[in-house]
Structure 1
């Protein structure tokens, strides 16, 4: 039994270790949304296609002192396409932020008043914007939460509502992802 078990353990270890020893890659969104190459993947994005993606971001982060995994997931989605060879120019991403996720867009001053730290999400939003993502906030969510645009990251665009952003872009061929 030991003669069979030990080689099996070494074989499994040899197969799994390269997956864990990889360094995260950031092909489109620099510094955020790190992803890994999957050499055995047979299903991959097609670099010749145009990808139009609308992210419906309403889930708040788990810990306000850390980057929201949902905000970082937008960067991951973009980087996964980039790693598969999709050029940045063929990846059109729009993000509509509403609900509890709206607080990820607070400027540092307002975020620190609520959470005692600067907003860790703002550098991610800046990197997303530099990578070509269009970041919007729901105007209705602003009113319901007694926020003003001056309370937010200055680069965000205000949408009439999240619902109208969705009903505007989905008929234009944008795929809807809910985070």
Structure 2
């Protein structure tokens, strides 16, 4: 097979373009612009489905698992990722309202440092992210029914967590107010 110079240049140019684009995508760093150190994201400007800057985002997260992601509760990590994606997408903060209903196996993540230390013999790995989420407007509710069944008093809770009558009350009230339930 005999290639002429123009065909060779076209093939090489196409190959070089593929390498450059691939390297850009691969080399793009993970970012945590809002919740520092948690919920790492990469922004892809050319991705087909983007967040819409015109919409109001009212989202509720049902956190009931004690599953871990990068050393913290996976549900909290997911909320951090959501906020970080909104930031990189340019969604105005006034258009974002995030709430979490924490109950079931996840209840212990809401303990303050002393109570967590007493229960598990170590610092609560979720304390920092809970504080950052609170500082960025996320409302974190914990089910008082779950607290009671685990002998947790309100004085044992992280100050950035709000005791609610129940997880059911938090979820149903917010869903009826137009919040969208986010998968976890």
TM-score w.r.t. the length of structure 2 is: 0.83
Instruction: Tell which deviates more after alignment, 10-19 or 121-130.
Output: 10-19
Aligned-residue CA RMSD (Å): 2.3
Compared CA separation, residues 11 and 105, structure 1 to 2 (3 A):
same
Q: Secondary structure at the match of 1:170?
A: helix
Question: Structure 2: how far apart are the matches of 1:21 and 1:71?
Answer: 27
Q: Say whether the 8 Å CA contact 1:32–1:127 is kept in structure 2.
A: no
Larger Rg: 2
Compared CA separation, residues 142 and 20, structure 1 to 2 (3 A):
same
Counterpart check, 1:148 vs 2:153: yes
Counterpart check, 1:123 vs 2:149: no
Long gaps (5+) in structure 2:
1-11
Q: State the Cα distance separating 1:111 from its structure 2 match.
A: 1.7
Q: State the Cα distance separating 1:15 from its structure 2 match.
A: 4.3
Q: Secondary structure at the match of 2:98?
A: strand
For 2:51, the equivalent position in structure 1 comes to: 45
For 2:61, the equivalent position in structure 1 comes to: 55
Number of aligned pairs? Answer: 172
TM-score w.r.t. the length of structure 1 is: 0.85
Question: Structure 2: how far apart are the matches of 1:116 and 1:143?
Answer: 21
Counterpart check, 1:67 vs 2:40: no
Q: Secondary structure at the match of 2:72?
A: coil
Question: Structure 2: how far apart are the matches of 1:82 and 1:91?
Answer: 10
Q: Deviations over 1:69-114 (max 9, x none)?
A: 3211111011112211111111001111101111111111222233
For 2:174, the equivalent position in structure 1 comes to: 169
Q: Secondary structure at the match of 2:58?
A: strand
Q: Say whether the 8 Å CA contact 1:57–1:178 is kept in structure 2.
A: no
Question: Structure 1: how far apart are the matches of 2:19 and 2:106?
Answer: 40
For 2:32, the equivalent position in structure 1 comes to: 26
Instruction: Tell which deviates more after alignment, 43-52 or 65-74.
Output: 65-74
